[in-house]
């Protein structure tokens, strides 16, 4: 998740320390999954291409934020007509730049019920739309909803007090997500939610850096940088991408960790994006360093080593690979279901009754990769069914021991007399 938020760690005495409780509310871009979904009431109408009564936002975020009820109530109109995409944007700093191929549909009929923002998703007849319908019908535990909003949080970053704009609603697939589109959960205690990012952990270091990044850039740089996003963290430097006058540039910072607080040096060096991609930024002689700041002892507080960074990159690579495999599998299953539905419609138009299409015959159609051969199987099946219907069963009299047909009544009387 990328977000631009208010933070002010004291670094080398160059920035006055401020109490978090005194910080003003700050607008932030939040991209996050929502925890509290409700199973009841969600309806999927494939014919109308509509998924009704989907929970779009709830009180508690997977990232530990609490949304105030008034903020959700006032945001109802903001969700109306907003686009729904499959998966998040490639880069969270460019959340408004989305590919049309990822578009699922749009949100309509939005309301606020039981502390949740709910709405219907009108699904387009696209690959992403069909994938979403298949995922929704599967009720898979790895499917969840997410949103990208411009919002205000309190100084301690624990509560969202106002949503200024809804940029998009996203359908995401994550093996770590055990709450689906329909699954509900009890409200999480505040202590558990805050414990999602543990104090003193590397995750907390990264979160603190992200929280202060954009505001820090605005305070120490005269350039108007926008959409600042961290893309790399090294022993002494942090790398970010940003936009300046419509041009993408790279920014290099020096960073530190002391007494549980991360900080960024006041010096920022702008580099070309190509330097970041090639790694040649490391060879520059003007890189920012904490040794240039007034308190050199802060440089000794570095806590993240190359080993951990390598392990983190590998973990993220494996997680990304797993997500990709899950999504590909879901798409393959959805494509198979769509093909079977098309074949069923084709056979119905040809006059084949439903009882003539057995499970074994469906398996034969799926296993046949040649479209021409599949059409032949369908025609042969239909012809065999018609022939079977024309050959009605016929009754006949019993045959005598000599092979001649006898009248059944006469035979019955004969047997009685013989007895």
Identify the pLDDT of residue 111: 94
In this structure, the chain runs to a length of 419
Q: Is the pLDDT assigned to residue 393 strictly greater than 60?
A: no
The predicted model scores a pTM of 0.41
In this predicted model, what pLDDT tens digit does every residue of 332-371 receive, in sequence order?
888 777 777 887 888 888 888 877 888 888 888 888 878 8
State the pLDDT at residue 250: 93
Q: Express as a percent the part of the chain with pLDDT over 90.
A: 14
Helix axes 359-367, 306-349, angle to 10 degrees: 120
For residues 296-305, give the mean pLDDT. 39
Q: Convert the pLDDT of each residue in 38-61 to its tens digit.
A: 455 778 888 889 999 888 888 877
Q: What per-residue confidence (pLDDT) applies to 295?
A: 44
204 three-state secondary structure: helix
- The per-residue DSSP string of 154-196 comes to -TTSSEEEEEEEEEEEEEEE-TT----SS---PPPPHHHHHTT
Q: Assess whether pLDDT exceeds 80 at residue 415.
A: no
Compare 253 and 317 and report the one with higher pLDDT: 253
Contact yes or no for 263/10 (Cβ under 8 A): yes
How far is 57 from 392, CA to CA, in rounded Å?
A: 61
Tell which wins on pLDDT, 296 or 228: 228
Average confidence score pLDDT of the chain: 73
Structure tokens at 222: 């005269």
The confidence score (pLDDT) of residue 251 equals 95
């Amino acid at each position: 998740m990328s977000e631009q938020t208010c933070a002010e760690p004291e670094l080398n005495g160059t920035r006055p320390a401020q109490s978090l409780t005194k910080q003003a509310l700050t607008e932030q871009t939040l991209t996050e999954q929502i925890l509290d979904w409700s199973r009841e009431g969600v309806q999927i109408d494939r014919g109308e291409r509509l998924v009704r009564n989907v929970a779009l936002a709830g009180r508690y975020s997977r990232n530990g934020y609490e949304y105030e009820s008034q903020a959700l109530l006032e945001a109802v109109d903001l969700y109306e007509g907003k686009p729904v995409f499959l998966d998040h944007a490639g880069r969270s700093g460019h959340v408004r730049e989305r590919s049309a191929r990822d578009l699922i549909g749009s949100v309509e009929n939005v309301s606020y019920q039981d502390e949740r923002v709910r709405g219907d998703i009108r699904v387009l007849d696209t690959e992403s739309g069909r994938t979403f319908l298949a995922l929704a019908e599967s009720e898979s535990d790895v499917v969840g909803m997410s949103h990208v909003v411009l919002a205000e949080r309190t100084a301690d970053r624990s509560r969202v007090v106002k949503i200024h704009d809804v940029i998009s609603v996203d359908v995401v697939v994550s093996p770590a997500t055990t709450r689906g589109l329909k699954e509900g959960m009890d409200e999480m205690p505040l202590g558990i939610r805050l414990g999602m990012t543990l104090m003193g952990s590397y995750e907390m270091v990264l979160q603190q850096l992200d929280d202060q990044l954009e505001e820090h850039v605005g305070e120490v740089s005269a350039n108007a940088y926008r959409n600042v996003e961290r893309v790399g963290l090294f022993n002494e430097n942090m790398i970010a991408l940003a936009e300046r006058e419509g041009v993408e540039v790279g920014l290099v910072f020096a960073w530190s960790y002391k007494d549980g607080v991360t900080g960024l040096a006041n010096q920022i060096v702008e580099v070309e994006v190509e330097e970041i991609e090639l790694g040649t930024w490391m060879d520059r002689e003007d890189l920012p360093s904490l040794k240039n700041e007034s308190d050199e002892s802060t440089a000794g507080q570095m806590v993240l080593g190359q080993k951990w960074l390598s392990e983190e990159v590998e973990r993220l690579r494996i997680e990304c690979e797993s997500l990709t495999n899950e999504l590909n599998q879901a798409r393959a299953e959805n494509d198979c279901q769509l093909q079977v539905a098309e074949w069923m419609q084709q056979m119905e138009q040809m006059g084949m009754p439903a009882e003539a299409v057995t499970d074994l015959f469906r398996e034969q159609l799926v296993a046949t990769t040649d479209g021409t051969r599949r059409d032949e199987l369908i025609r042969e099946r239909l012809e065999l069914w018609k022939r079977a219907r024309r050959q009605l069963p016929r009754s006949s009299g019993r045959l005598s021991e000599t092979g001649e047909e006898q009248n059944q009544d006469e035979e019955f009387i004969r047997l009685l007399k013989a007895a």
